[in-house]
Each structure stands twice: as C-alpha cells, then as structure tokens.
Amino acid sequence: MAEKTVKQKIDLNELKSGGFIKQTQKDLFTVRLKVPGGRITPDKMLKIAEVAKKYSRLGYCHLSFRQSVEIIGVHIDDFDTVVKELATVGQKVASCGPRVRVPTACGGCEYNPNGIMDTQTKALEVDEKFFGTPCHHKFKMGFSGCPIDCTRTRESDLGFQGVVYPGWTKDLCNGCTLCAKACLEGAIVSDKDGKPIFDKSKCVYCGDCIKACPTDAWKEKKKGWLVRVGGKHGRHPREADHVLDYLSDEKVNDFVAATLEWYNKNGKTKERIGTCIDRVGIDKFKKDVVSAFKKA
Amino acid sequence: MAEEEKLIPHDKIDLRGVLCPINFVKTKLKLEMLDAGQILEVILDDGEPIRSVPRSIKEEGHKIIKVENLDNSYRILIKKM
C-alpha cells in the first residue's frame, strides 16, 4: 500500500529528465544511458550488460539512434538500485524532454584517417558544460570530424563539422596529379604539366588533396569547425542552415552558449530552434549570434 | 644522372585487378621486405586504388617519388623510409 503511494507521487515528466522513459507495459521503463560521442569503455559495457541481465524484465537492450545504450523493461521499483550499480563504473543516465541532450560524435580523429577536427574531445567537453540545460524543446548537438559528416550535422539543432582549407605551394609541386585523383569533388583538375587547377567553388574542404600530396605542396592553410544550426529530423525534417566556417576549437563552447541563450530568448515553448529560425528568419540568428564569431 | 639512378626500382608488384584494401596490404608487405632507401614499383588501377593506396603509403611514412599515367592504370615509385 505504501509502495503504491510512492508510485503515484512520481511525476512522469520529472522521470523523463532523468532518462527514464515510460513504456507500454505497466510500471516498466526504458533507462537511457549516457554515451557522449558514442565512445564507451569495455568496463562500462560489462557493467551495463550485468545490470541489464539482472533488471531488464524483457531481457534486452536497445541502441538508440543517437548513440545511447537503453536498458529496456526496467521496473520502477528497481530504479534506485540500477542507478547505484551503474554509478560504480561512472555510468550515468541520460535525459529526454526539453533540454540539451547528450552530444553525438563520429569515431574521432585519433584513429580515423579522414578526421580533421577532434570530435570526441569536443563532444565530451560540450556534454560536461551543457548537458541538461533546459530549453523550449529538445536540443541535439553533433560533431563530425570531416565533410563525410557521419554524425549528420545537417539534422542537428546545432552541428559542428571539421573543415580544412588547402593551400598550394608551386615550388614544391612535382606535377604527379595525385591530388586531382584524390579530389572527389572535381575541385582540382590537372593542367598539361600535371599541376593542379583549383576551383574553390567545388571544394568541400575535406583535405583529401593534402593527405594525397606526396611532396607537401598541398598543406593545411587553416582548419576549424563548419557550423550548422536548426536541423532536425522527426515528423517534419528540416535541413540545418550553414552559418559559419572555421570556428576555432576554443570558441565552440561560446558558440553553444550564445545559441542556447538566443534560442531561449527567441523561441516558444515546444518549438525547436529550426522552427524558431523559420519564424524569425535566419538573418536574425546570424546578426544576433554568428556575427560576433566572424573574424574581422 | 644520379637522379635517374635513384629511380631504378629494387622490386615491383602489379596490383591491377586487386581491390582495396588488399592492394595496400600487399604493397605494405612488399615494402617490409625492402631496406630503407630502396624503391618499390607498384602498378595500380585507376579509380579507388590510385586514390587510396598512395595516401595510405604516405600515412605509413614512405615517400612517393614518381607517378606515371598508363592506360587505365598508374605506375608509382615508392621510396621506403
């Protein structure tokens, strides 16, 4: 009887902020676990498996689309124990509802040869600083290391994607044509001596030419984050607006803070930032937020 | 003259028809059998192989010293570092 009273006091929305999601089955919940950037240690995986084996009344986990591990079918009476057991390896519970979610990221530049920017470090840092910040609606951030954009920053409320500008030194070039071969965009074609003709309008700033060049004639001139805002999926997908190039690593947190402040000021309840931008205009966002980050 | 002499390969491997990343692995194994400073000649198909193999060789720290365009394939010379 006492147990029933406790249950009735639990606010479902309150639970969602803690990453407990109501299921169709009575008293069973999905427990969503934080895996920022999708990187997880074997120790955490083992503990999650152990906890899931003990407390999932349906006997399985689910990998969410945004890189979280979810334990399905956890009984409401087991919440405290589940949280405590997971905490022994530092595994935290994620969130749902109108707030900043766990950032996603691609595998990372430490081992992926395409990587330009360090997505894993940044995703952790941004998670540390902004996770759970209340907003008008969900707010999802993603980090992609290169223009292949595995994290799909075009679908993120705020997305950061690595870009590098290639610079060419004539004296170092031996006309081998490998850069033109490497370029998938047709932004580099070889002249009759094998020297590159660069068409900036076709370049996506992936740095393949730099990686291919055997003589270092192509070198990194500058690199940073390309920033996209207002993307979402769901019932009414919206492709993000590309608002900035070459944002430096150190400025990412400031950009996130400024965007969240703008969103909370200009948005309406239950309105994603993309919908808000459609209503007030991207130019307003650019003027209010982006302009301060453009280098003079 | 000295330059020309340097471009004589010590070994060669024809990787036409060999897919990525097997072509890279075979190149790497060949290079392991050479001494530093020696040259390997590799024939690669156009497309993905010529796009990927030289780049991976560079990542391994070796030097591509010549690229020659043949019909639908490429002859590259790699200096083992």
Q: Where are the domains of chain A?
A: 2-87, 104-165+214-293
B80 CB neighbours in chain A (<8 A) are none
Highest CATH level, class, for A2-87:
alpha beta
Residue A95: its pLDDT value, please?
87
Q: Is B11 a catalytic residue?
A: no
User: Whole-angstrom Cα distance, residue A210 to residue A212?
Assistant: 5
**ipTM of this complex:** 0.86
Distance of CA B10 to the CA centre of its chain: 12
User: Whole-angstrom Cα distance, residue B51 to residue A80?
Assistant: 54
Answer whether A242's CB lies under 8 Å from A192's CB. no
User: Whole-angstrom Cα distance, residue B10 to residue A294?
Assistant: 53
A208 CB neighbours in chain B (<8 A) are 55
Print pLDDT tens along chain A (296 aa): 444 444 445 566 556 667 899 999 999 999 999 999 999 999 999 999 999 999 999 999 999 999 999 999 999 999 999 999 999 999 999 988 899 999 999 998 888 889 999 999 999 999 999 999 999 999 999 999 999 999 999 999 999 999 999 999 999 999 999 999 999 999 999 999 999 999 999 999 999 999 999 999 999 999 999 999 999 999 999 999 999 999 999 999 999 999 999 999 999 999 999 999 999 999 999 999 999 999 75
B1 — pLDDT class (breaks 50, 70, 90): very low
User: Whole-angstrom Cα distance, residue A226 to residue A149?
Assistant: 11
User: Whole-angstrom Cα distance, residue B70 to residue B75?
Assistant: 7
**Interface residue A189 vs chain B (CB under 8 A):** no
Distance of CA A191 to the CA centre of its chain: 40
Q: Closest residue of A to B73, CA-based?
A: A181
**Interface residue B50 vs chain A (CB under 8 A):** yes
User: Whole-angstrom Cα distance, residue A158 to residue B68?
Assistant: 45
Beta strands per DSSP E along A139-286: 141-144, 158-168, 188-190, 196-198, 218-229, 241-247
When pLDDT is averaged across residues B39-58 and rounded to a whole number, the result is 95
Please tell me the number of Cα atoms within 13 Å of A25 on its side-chain side: 11
pLDDT in tens, A5-32: 444 455 665 566 678 999 999 999 999 9
Answer whether A63's CB lies under 8 Å from A69's CB. yes
Give the position of tokens 């894993």: A120
Tell me phi and psi for residue A141, to 5 degrees: -120, 150
A181 CB neighbours in chain B (<8 A) are 46, 50-51
pTM of the predicted model, to two decimals? 0.90
Q: Closest residue of A to B58, CA-based?
A: A214
Dihedral sign, Cα of residue A34, residue A38, residue A41, residue A45: positive
Pairing of strands A141-144, A218-229: unpaired
Q: Is A205 helix (H, G, I), strand (E, B) or coil?
A: coil
Token readout for A185 is 């965009």
Query: Smallest CA–CA separation between B51 and chain A, in Å?
Result: 5
Selecting from A113, A181, A213 the residue whose C-beta is nearest the C-beta of B50 gives A181
Chain A contact probe: residue of B51, B63, B73 with most A CBs at under 10 A? B51
**Interface residue A96 vs chain B (CB under 8 A):** no
Q: Which residue, among A178, A188, A189, A107, has the nearest Cα to A148 in the 3D structure?
A: A107
User: Whole-angstrom Cα distance, residue B64 to residue B58?
Assistant: 7
**Interchain proximity B58–A176, CB inside 8 Å:** no
User: Whole-angstrom Cα distance, residue A64 to residue A59?
Assistant: 16
What domains does chain B contain, in order, with CATH numbers?
Answer: 2-79 (3.30.110.40)
Query: Smallest CA–CA separation between A65 and chain B, in Å?
Result: 29
User: Whole-angstrom Cα distance, residue B42 to residue A284?
Assistant: 56
Query: Smallest CA–CA separation between A212 and chain B, in Å?
Result: 5
**Interchain proximity A211–B69, CB inside 8 Å:** no
**Interchain proximity A212–B63, CB inside 8 Å:** no
Please give the full DSSP string across A57-78, using - where no structure is assigned. Answer: SS--EEE-TTS-EEEEEEEGGG
Would you identify the CATH topology of the domain A104-165+214-293? Sulfite Reductase Hemoprotein; domain 1 (3.30.413)
**Interchain proximity A214–B64, CB inside 8 Å:** yes
